[in-house]
């Protein structure tokens, strides 16, 4: 499995294009379509997975859906966030109004998007729609986990208690590499320390 990281147009958010033979998955959608197409090439994009509804992570979701004829997956709470410019923090008024190509996810579960098996985990805290995706031994954590921190809990829809619960959930999931929504990747041991530290910080 090949993982390619692109920089989004806004806020230096990460977009990941995951390739397995002639198939591809996309994690988040802040990178310009033309940049994504260069990485995808002739491969078939099977789905776009959104980690949460803030504008820098879902800006081009519908463009990807149209260009690649693929579904977009997002936590069910993302509909309210992405459709409101104040809640999704878009300074230019961006919203998603058409959800006809969006599959809304509830709780934790698994998607069989063959050849990819995707486990998804609801990790509210930074956003009520925050979702982590595990593919093989790789965890795509959006803005829940960063290399040296966690997502902010002082934004619209954020919740410190929810973040504590999500960190507790993630502490029980094994993975090799965490790919964050911003910044660099990190390994399992770093994230174990990270989660322990911030759970302690948030419960003070």
89-93 average pLDDT score: 94
* Among the listed residues 73, 59, 82, the one whose alpha carbon sits nearest the alpha carbon of residue 9: 59
* Whether residue 203 has pLDDT greater than 90: no
Give the tens place of pLDDT for each residue, 67-78: 999 999 999 999
Give the tens place of pLDDT for each residue, 155-178: 999 999 999 999 999 999 999 999
Give the tens place of pLDDT for each residue, 14-68: 999 999 999 999 999 999 999 999 999 999 999 999 999 999 999 999 999 999 9
Structural domains in the chain plus CATH codes: 2-202 (3.60.15.10)
The pLDDT mean for the chain works out to 96
What confidence tier does 201 reach under pLDDT thresholds 50, 70, 90?
Answer: confident
What confidence tier does 9 reach under pLDDT thresholds 50, 70, 90?
Answer: confident
- For the CA atoms of the chain, what is the radius of gyration? 16
Beta carbons of 68 and 45 less than 8 angstroms apart = yes
* Among the listed residues 87, 55, 169, 181, the one whose alpha carbon sits nearest the alpha carbon of residue 123: 169
Q: What is the pLDDT of residue 105?
A: 98
Give the tens place of pLDDT for each residue, 103-135: 999 999 999 998 999 999 999 999 999 999 999
How far apart CA 30 and CA 25 sit, in angstroms, is: 14
């Amino acid at each position: 499995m090949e993982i390619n990281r692109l920089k989004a147009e806004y806020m230096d958010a990460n977009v990941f294009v995951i390739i397995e033979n002639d198939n591809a998955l996309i994690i988040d959608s802040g990178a310009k379509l033309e940049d994504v197409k260069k990485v995808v090439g002739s491969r078939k994009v099977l789905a776009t997975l959104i980690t949460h509804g803030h504008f820098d992570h879902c800006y081009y979701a519908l463009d990807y859906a149209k260009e690649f004829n693929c579904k977009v997956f997002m936590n069910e709470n993302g509909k309210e966030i992405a459709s409101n410019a104040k809640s999704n923090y878009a300074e230019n008024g961006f919203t998603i109004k058409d959800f006809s190509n969006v599959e809304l996810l509830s709780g934790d579960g698994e998607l069989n998007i063959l050849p990819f098996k995707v486990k998804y985990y609801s990790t509210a805290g930074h956003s009520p729609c925050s979702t982590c995706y595990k593919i093989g031994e790789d965890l795509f954590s959006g803005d829940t986990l960063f290399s040296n921190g966690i997502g902010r809990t002082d934004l619209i829809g954020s919740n410190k208690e929810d973040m504590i619960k999500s960190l507790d959930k993630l502490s029980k999931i094994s993975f090799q590499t965490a790919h964050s929504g911003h910044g660099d990747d990190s390994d399992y041991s770093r994230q174990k320390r990270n989660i322990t530290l911030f759970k302690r910080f948030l419960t003070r």
